[in-house]
Amino acid sequence: MTQVLKIEGQHPLKGVVRISGSKNATVALIPATILSSLGPISIIGVPHISDVESLNHLLEFLNVEVNTPSDGHLVIDPTHLKNISLDHPAVNKLRASYYFMGALLGRFKEVKMKMPGGCYLGPRPIDLHLKGFEALGAHVEYTQGYYHIKAEKLVGAKIFLDISSVGATINIMLAATLAQGRTTIENAAKEPEIIDVATMLNRMGANIKGAGTNVITIEGVEQLGGTFHEIIPDRIEAGTYMIIAAAAAEEMIIENVIPQHVESLISKLKDMGVSVEVERDHVIIKKGIDLKPVDVKTLPYPGFATDLQQPLTTLLTQAKGESIVNETIYTERFKHCLELQRLGANISLSPATATIKGETSLFGDHVTATDLRCGAALVVAGLIAQGTTTIHDVYHIDRGYDELDHKLIALGAKITRVELND
Ligand code: EPU
């Protein structure tokens, strides 16, 4: 059985939506818990997304106890953790399963696991993660689809990342917390999710300084223990609702937002002529009238997020004139454009660049969410298109958006989820 979302377009949205805990922080925080040898970790604000289910399957596979005492609250007890070769099917369901590499390597000095899966956005190598582990003293072997990473002992080192990779920064940080001596990560990524992971690790007893800057220092400690942690709000979910509001809302109040985390989007929306009111922990957005075209270049944080490039492209189809989107993080992250073309968008593609000519009317049709944020781009399109848009492969959306259809229905959208017999 597969599911589709059917969206009847052009119903104005109005009301309040609450943003959930950050997916990209959560998917690192959950593997990070297994670094504790001294009791359970309690995490609140956990989003209802299938990536969390996949990671919980992996925890249980590793003999970790996972409990959900209340909604959005996970208690993870790694007391009986076993270092089993990670050949579970859930490894292929998400990219972030690679965080078990750093965590198990830190804890046991050895890890064996399959190649992680995740959204196809063009090539997504993990060479920088592996180089980092090697710098800490590990030996890496890749045979028959499995990584085997092993160290006699992990010793802190100076590591320069050629690209400021989010995943490599977090993975090296995880392994280095239990290494001997000091690790310095230079040209580290500065995304807010990295600060969130470092905050939880420090509460567990780690000694990490500089998270959120491009130099992170980790003084290795003997062992880590249990703690309590509340996940930061999801800046990409917040950004997605901000774009939806700019496209289709009489007025939307988006709560549980750290406005600083979405500054680059706020600035673009204002350039497009959208009314954005920014308060301490929420933003208020109204549908833009006579939207202006803008040029966008995706960059590491605090630049414009690649994850918001896809939904923004849909909004740009509604601007009068030509917008140019230059994707510098994942140069092939444009599959959504082919789907948007089916709905009537005028987009031409050249390497790493999409040129969008607007404004164009969109018309409902059958489209496919080829990846998570492509799904978000198609939801924005469905809400503004004439007629009904049917989005296939909804499981991509469910990987990363907490109850997207329910939240939108509460705002006035006409959406149904339909089971299809394969
Ligand atoms: N890169 C390498 N070698 C590496 C690692 C990365 O060449 O070893 C390259 C990548 O190919 C890419 C660039 O470096 O061109 C940046 O990749 P990064 O490692 O920062 O990405 P990631 O950690 O795999 C996370 C998010 C992505 C988000 C990117 C960029 C998670 C689980 N995923 O991926 O989120 O697009 O950072 O901000 O945190 C999404 O949420 O839809 C999503 C794909």
Q: What does the pLDDT look like over 380-394, one tens digit per residue?
A: 999 999 999 999 999
pLDDT at residue 93 in the model: 86
**Alpha carbon distance 73, 227 (integer Å):** 13
SS3 content of the chain, % helix, strand, coil (to 5): 35, 30, 35
Domain ranges, residue 261: 2-20+233-420
> Out of 57-71, 117-131, 152-166, 190-204, which region has the weakest mean confidence (pLDDT)?
117-131
Question: Which among 215, 166, 226, 185 has a CA at the least distance from the CA of 34?
Answer: 226
In percent, how much of the chain has pLDDT > 90?
92
267 and 359 inside one domain = yes
Instruction: Identify the band that residue 185 occupies on the pLDDT scale cut at 50, 70 and 90.
Output: very high
Query: Strand 321-326 and strand 296-297: pairing?
Result: parallel
Domain boundary (187, 209, 230) is at 230
Q: Are 168 and 161 in contact (CB under 8 A)?
A: yes
Q: How far is the CA of 250 from the centre of ligand 1 (A)?
A: 35
Contact 27 CB / ligand 1 (< 6 Å): yes
160 and 292 inside one domain = no
310 and 389 inside one domain = yes
Instruction: Identify the band that residue 94 occupies on the pLDDT scale cut at 50, 70 and 90.
Output: confident
Q: Which residue's C-alpha comes closest to atom 31 of ligand 1?
A: 24
Could you confirm whether 119 is annotated as catalytic?
A: yes
200 and 295 inside one domain = no
Residue 276: Cβ-neighbour burial (10 angstroms; 0-12, 13-18, 19+): buried
pLDDT at residue 349 in the model: 97
pLDDT at residue 125 in the model: 86
How many domains is the chain built from? 2
Q: Which residue's C-alpha comes closest to atom 24 of ligand 1?
A: 167
Q: How far is the CA of 70 from the centre of ligand 1 (A)?
A: 32
Distances (CA, A) of 324 to 97, 242, 301, 362: 34, 20, 20, 19
Q: What is the mean pLDDT of the chain?
A: 96
Q: How far is the CA of 233 from the centre of ligand 1 (A)?
A: 19
Which ligand 1 atom lies nearest to the CA of residue 126?
8
pLDDT at residue 124 in the model: 79
Instruction: Identify the band that residue 145 occupies on the pLDDT scale cut at 50, 70 and 90.
Output: confident
Contact 125 CB / ligand 1 (< 6 Å): yes
Task: Indicate if the pLDDT at residue 77 is higher than 90.
Answer: yes
Q: Which residue's C-alpha comes closest to atom 7 of ligand 1?
A: 125
Q: How far is the CA of 94 from the centre of ligand 1 (A)?
A: 12
- Cα 410 vs. chain centroid, distance in angstroms? 24
Rounded (10°) angle between helices 235-248 and 306-316: 0
Contact 372 CB / ligand 1 (< 6 Å): yes
265 and 193 inside one domain = no
Instruction: Identify the band that residue 248 occupies on the pLDDT scale cut at 50, 70 and 90.
Output: very high
Domain boundary (213, 230, 247) is at 230
Which ligand 1 atom lies nearest to the CA of residue 191?
38
221 and 322 inside one domain = no
252 and 218 inside one domain = no
224 and 310 inside one domain = no
Distances (CA, A) of 20 to 46, 97, 206: 7, 21, 26
Mean pLDDT, to the nearest integer, of 178-187? 98
Domain boundary (230, 253, 272) is at 230
List the 36-44 sheet strands across, edge first: 65-70, 73-77, 36-44, 224-230
Q: How far is the CA of 165 from the centre of ligand 1 (A)?
A: 6
In a 13 Å sphere around the CA of 149, the CA atoms on its Cβ side amount to 30
385 and 259 inside one domain = yes
CATH number at residue 51: 3.65.10.10
Task: Indicate if the pLDDT at residue 28 is higher than 80.
Answer: yes
Residue 153: Cβ-neighbour burial (10 angstroms; 0-12, 13-18, 19+): exposed
Contact 306 CB / ligand 1 (< 6 Å): yes
240 and 179 inside one domain = no
Contact 127 CB / ligand 1 (< 6 Å): yes
pLDDT at residue 235 in the model: 98
pLDDT at residue 119 in the model: 67
**Alpha carbon distance 78, 71 (integer Å):** 21
* Residues whose CB falls within 8 Å of the CB of residue 127, separated by 6 or more in sequence, listed in order: none
Instruction: Identify the band that residue 201 occupies on the pLDDT scale cut at 50, 70 and 90.
Output: very high
Give the chain's radius of gyration (CA, Å). Answer: 21
237 and 254 inside one domain = yes
396 and 314 inside one domain = yes
Task: Indicate if the pLDDT at residue 122 is higher than 90.
Answer: no
Question: Which among 317, 324, 341, 339 has a CA at the least distance from the CA of 396?
Answer: 339
Instruction: Identify the band that residue 260 occupies on the pLDDT scale cut at 50, 70 and 90.
Output: very high
Mutate-to-test residue for ligand 1 from 24, 50, 194, 262, highest number of ligand atoms within 8 A of CB: 24
Cis status of the peptide bond prior to 31, with omega within 30 of 0: no
Contact 124 CB / ligand 1 (< 6 Å): yes
Task: Indicate if the pLDDT at residue 112 is higher than 70.
Answer: yes
pLDDT at residue 95 in the model: 86
At 344-383, the pLDDT tens digits run 999 999 999 999 999 999 999 999 999 999 999 999 999 9
Which one is catalytic: 35, 91, 94, 119?
119
Instruction: Identify the band that residue 7 occupies on the pLDDT scale cut at 50, 70 and 90.
Output: very high
pLDDT at residue 221 in the model: 98
Mutate-to-test residue for ligand 1 from 93, 163, 306, highest number of ligand atoms within 8 A of CB: 163
